[in-house]
Amino acid sequence: MIFRLQSNSLNLRPVIYAMCAQRIIYFLLPLWLTVTAPSLCALEPGFPFFEVVRSPIGNGILTANDVAAGRDGLLAVATSEGLLTYDGEHWQLINPTEQLAVWSVQFTPNGLILAGMTNDFGYVRIDPYLGAQFESIRSRIVMNSEAPGRCIRILVSDQYVAFCFSSGVVFCPPGDFE
């Protein structure tokens, strides 16, 4: 038995439209993913939202040497002009004693900002009347070398704070910063 299809009994338009739509979807899917995937990932917990935040200090052309974030959301940036803090709305420049360039920055667990320069290191003291000021602790610590060099990194643990310089490491007890 042979069945014969008549042209008016079978409408192929929906099938053709579906095949064209499928090809268009396959064509547009990579474009859709590149546009929407970053915004979808930014909404997920644990994925940061990236943006360029320029400081009005120094016309936004400061050289950032190191960056650290505190638990309260405060951002500290070691720059060529000093130590910048950013609370999400306002920038503040904290100038060290004699030197401008801050090479390394770190937060202690209680939120204190530590900063390391060339041949000097210390912490940022927050005074309600004077604002934030840098306090050097180099004079309080007996050191074998007079010039430790540039502070490359600051490591913080429960037992000590280590300022890693180009010519050695300076270990400080956490009580020196209170």
- What's the rounded Cα separation, in Å, for the pair 94 and 134? 7
pLDDT score recorded for residue 18: 54
Closest by CA to 154, choosing from 63, 67, 75, 92, is 67
Tell me, yes or no, whether 143 lies in a domain: yes
Q: Which residue has the tokens 């009994």?
A: 9
Note whether 95 and 157 are same-domain residues. yes
So what's the pLDDT on residue 144?
Answer: 64
Residue 2 lies in a domain: no
What does the DSSP 8-state code read for residue 48? P
CB burial of residue 107 (10 Å; 0-12, 13-18, 19+):
buried
> Could you give the CA distance from residue 144 to residue 40 in angstroms, rounded to a whole number?
54
User: Half-sphere exposure of 47 toward its Cβ, with a 13 Å CA cutoff?
Assistant: 8
Predicted local confidence at residue 49, as pLDDT = 53
**Looking at the structure, do residues 35 and 110 belong to the same domain, yes or no?**
no
In a domain, 68, yes or no: yes
Q: Is residue 56 domain-resident?
A: no
pLDDT for 125: 79
Whether residues 71 and 106 fall in one domain: yes
Per-residue pLDDT at 41: 47
Residue 171 DSSP code: E
Domain CATH code at residue 162 = 2.130.10.10
pLDDT at residue number 104: 92
Q: Is residue 57 part of a domain?
A: no
Same-domain check for residues 19 and 90 = no
Residue 1 maps to a domain: no
| Residues spanned by the domain of 26 | 8-51
Do 66 and 144 belong to one domain?
yes
44 and 90 in a single domain? The answer is: no
Residue 91 is inside which H or E element, if any? Answer: strand 91-94
* 104 plus 161 within the same structural domain: yes
Per-residue pLDDT of the chain (178 residues; tens, 9 = 90+): 454 445 455 555 554 555 555 555 555 555 544 544 444 444 444 444 555 666 666 666 677 888 898 888 888 888 888 888 888 788 888 876 666 788 899 998 888 889 888 888 888 877 777 777 888 887 776 666 666 788 889 888 888 888 888 888 888 887 766 6
Q: Give residue 55's pLDDT.
A: 67
Q: What angle do CA 45, 83, 153 make, to 5 degrees?
A: 75
Question: Is residue 46 located within the same domain as residue 92?
Answer: no
Does residue 39 lie within any of the structural domains?
Answer: yes
Same domain, 38 and 87: no
67 and 128 co-located in one domain: yes
Question: Which residues are CB-neighbours of 3 under 8 A, at least 6 positions away?
Answer: none
Total-model pTM? 0.64
Query: In sequence order, what DSSP letters do the residues of 99-135 get, joined into one string?
Result: -----EEEE-TTSPEEEE-BS-EEEEEEETTTEEEEE
Under DSSP, the state recorded for 8 is T
pLDDT at 10: 52
The pLDDT value recorded for residue 105 is: 92
Q: How many domains does the chain have?
A: 2
Do 160 and 85 belong to one domain?
yes
Q: Check whether residue 137 and residue 71 sit in a common domain.
A: yes
d(CA 14, CA 5): 17
